[in-house]
Amino acid sequence: MALLDNSGIRDQFPAADNTLYLDSAHQTPLSRLVRAELDRFYDSALTLAGPKYLWLERVEQVRAKLATFLSVAPEQIAFTKNTSEGLNICANGVQWEPGDNVLLLEGEHPNNAYAWLSKRSAGLEVRLVPNDKKWADADTFASYIDDRTRAIGISHVMFHSGQRNDVASITAATADRGIAVVADSMQSVGVIPLDVPTLGIAALASGSHKGLLTPQGLGFLWTAADTDRLTPTYVGTAGIANARPDLVATADPIELRANSHRFEIGNFNLPAIHALGAALDLIESVGVANIEEHTHELGDQLIEIADSLGVGLVGPRAREHRSPHIYVLDLTQPELPASLAENNARVSPVRDGIRVSFGMYNTSDDVTRFGELLATALKTAPATAGVS
Q: Site residues (CB under 6 A) for ligand PLP? A: 82-84, 109, 111-112, 155, 159, 184, 186-187, 207, 219
**66 CB contacts (<8 Å, ≥6 apart)?**
74, 77, 220, 276, 280
Question: How far, in Å, CA of 165 to CA of 316, rounded?
Answer: 11
Q: How far is the CB of 328 from ligand PLP (least distance, A)?
A: 12
Question: How far, in Å, CA of 141 to CA of 124, rounded?
Answer: 18
Q: 134 φ, ψ to 5°? A: 80, -5
Nearer Cβ to ligand PLP (209/261): 209
Nearer Cβ to ligand PLP (110/178): 110
**H helix intervals, the chain:** 15-18, 32-47, 52-70, 83-92, 110-117, 138-142, 167-174, 196-199, 270-286, 288-309, 336-342, 364-380
**152 CB contacts (<8 Å, ≥6 apart)?**
102, 103, 104, 141, 170, 174, 179, 180, 181, 182
Q: How far is the CB of 80 from ligand PLP (least distance, A)?
A: 9
Closest CB to ligand PLP belongs to which residue? 207
Nearer Cβ to ligand PLP (111/227): 111
Nearer Cβ to ligand PLP (272/278): 272
Q: How far is the CB of 59 from ligand PLP (least distance, A)?
A: 19
Q: What is the 3-state secondary structure (H, E, C) of 56-99?
A: HHHHHHHHHHHHHHHCCCHHHEEEECCHHHHHHHHHHCCCCCCC
Nearer Cβ to ligand PLP (31/80): 80
Nearer Cβ to ligand PLP (83/363): 83
Question: How far, in Å, CA of 280 to CA of 347, rounded?
Answer: 25
Q: How far is the CB of 199 from ligand PLP (least distance, A)?
A: 16
Q: How far is the CB of 330 from ligand PLP (least distance, A)?
A: 19
Q: 354 φ, ψ to 5°? A: -110, 125
Q: How far is the CB of 44 from ligand PLP (least distance, A)?
A: 27
Nearer Cβ to ligand PLP (84/227): 84
